Amino acid sequence: MSSKVSGFQDKNGKVLKIMIEWWKEKFRRVVVTQNVESLLVSIVISAYNEEKYLPGLIEDLKNQTYPKEDIEILFINAMSTDGTTAIIQQFIKEDTEFNSIRLYNNPKKNQASGFNLGVKHSVGDLILKIDAHSKVTESFVMNNVAIIQQGEFVCGGPRPTIVEGKGKWAETLHLVEENMFGSSIANYRNSSEDRYVSSIFHGMYKREVFQKVGLVNEQLGRTEDNDIHYRIREHGYKIRYSPSILSYQYIRPTFKKMLHQKYSNGLWIGLTSHVQFKCLSLFHYVPCLFVLSLVFSLALLPITFVFITLLLGAYFLLLSLLTLLTLLKHKNGFLIVMPFLLFSIHFAYGLGTIVGLIRGFKWKKEYKGTIIYLDKISQINKNML
């Protein structure tokens, strides 16, 4: 009898605990909502052929807890050739809640010029950058504004990745991407610590930041965030990272596209090294050093036989241990090729960096480094209203 009573109490205790946690979260949301002063938020979304992901992102925006009348959305279309434009136009046609939804074409097509175009046409107190192939939580805008109102000028949060497809192979690609050896040790990945960082993803910025620091450097590709966040820090601003600000990024759906992405990332690390190396860290050059070590060691064989044996032995031992731990946790047979996938990613990134470093000698002669400031443009916008 006593065991039944004890079991009943344990069960009710768990139910009570769940109810308490639910009410705590409910209360926290109410407090955040009440304490956040309404500021106009300009969301800038650059898109090129994003018909797969835009409908989901639009639904996320519709579900935001921040007042819709205090949100303007600026879609920057990089001359898409699929149904992207039609999806945005339909959203504009049907909307009755948001302050404004506008669509602009970006003939330059690249991300940096797209974001700048959006900022130039924005009128909000705060500017929020969101990638088109992303997902955001319903409190994403609200929590960003709450952090800014604590006295911050730039903020962001964790941005773990999600996979588009289903199945064991898709899961394998996702696990490779999420692993620090497959992508990055950047704080915006999954850190649960509230702190100041050197860079963030899907950042929110006070308008004055772009007036004093300038807009994104349009001559940089894939490293424009590194550059703008470096300049922001150099101007004395801090970049706040808060775990409460959660968004997700879709990974490349195929291994071929993933390799192309890593190669391009490395290429721009190499190019950027010639014009703004201070915005990069030693971590960015590790794959490059690894590839160079392999190339020189192979070229000098048999003199370097011991060195290359130790290098590759230690490298693949580490990857094998990592693979074993991941395999035990996820029970996915495809993970047996994880060492090969990680090696391919590292090699592609490192090779891209080497190519960028070589090409950079010619590229930097064409580099102007012109930075556009928002103050003049914002005045033009005000005169147009």
Give residue 89's identity as a one-letter amino acid code: Q
- Residue 269 tokens read as 């690390």
The pLDDT-based confidence of 187 (bands split at 50, 70, 90) is low
Give percent above pLDDT 70 in the chain.
85
Distance CA 148, CA 150 (A): 5
Dist. CA 189–CA 178, nearest whole Å: 8
Check residues 16 and 179 and name the one with the higher pLDDT: 179
Report which of 110, 129, 109 is spatially closest to residue 119, judged by C-alpha positions. 129
Distance CA 70, CA 151 (A): 20
Which of the residue ranges 104-113, 196-205, 233-242, 376-385 would you say has the lowest mean pLDDT? 376-385
Distances from the Cα of 267 to the Cα of 180, 231, 235, 262, 289, angstroms:
20, 21, 28, 9, 14
Read off the pLDDT of residues 190-216 as tens digits, 9 standing for 90 and up. 678 999 999 999 999 999 999 999 999
Q: At 14, list the tokens.
A: 């768990």
Query: What is the mean pLDDT of the segment spanning 272-283?
Result: 95
Mean pLDDT in residue range 343-369: 96
Residue 70 confidence (pLDDT) above 60: yes
Calpha distance 205→339 (Å, rounded): 39
13, pLDDT greater than 80: no
pLDDT, residue 302, reads: 87
Q: What is the pTM of this model?
A: 0.85
Mean pLDDT of the chain: 88
Domain ranges within the chain, ordered by starting residue: 19-252
Alpha carbon separation from 127 to 43, 100, 124 (Å, rounded): 6, 14, 6
Q: Read off the pLDDT band of 378 (50, 70, 90).
A: very low
User: Distance between CA 346 and CA 368 in Å, rounded?
Assistant: 31
What pLDDT digit, counting tens, does each position of 283-326 carry?
999 999 999 999 999 988 888 889 989 999 999 999 999 999 99
Conformational region of residue 79, where left means phi above 0, alpha means psi within -120 to 50, and beta covers everything else: left
Average pLDDT of span 133-149: 97
* 127 vs 177, more confident: 127
Tokens of 88: 């945005």
| Secondary structure class of 262 (helix, strand, coil) | helix
The residue ranking higher by pLDDT, 27 or 98, is: 98
Secondary structure string (H, E, C) spanning 87-127: HHHHHHHHCCCCCEEEEEECCCCCHHHHHHHHHHHCCCCEE
E-strand ranges in the chain read: 41-47, 71-77, 100-105, 126-131, 134-136, 154-156, 161-162, 195-197, 204-206, 239-241, 247-250
CATH of domain 19-252: 3.90.550.10
Strand partners, 134: 249
| Cα 161 to Cα 248: distance, rounded to the nearest angstrom | 5
* The one-letter amino acid at 335: L
Confidence of residue 385 (pLDDT cuts 50, 70, 90): very low
pLDDT surpassing 70 at residue 381: no
User: At 133, is the secondary structure helix, strand, or coil?
Assistant: coil
- Range in 196-210, 297-311, 349-363, 367-381 the model is least confident about: 367-381
Which tokens in the block code for residue 233?
């820090």
Q: What is the pLDDT of residue 24?
A: 52
* Two tokens, residue 316: 């693949």
pLDDT reported for residue 17: 59
Least confident of 17-21, 82-86, 121-125, 356-360: 17-21
pLDDT for the residue 130: 98
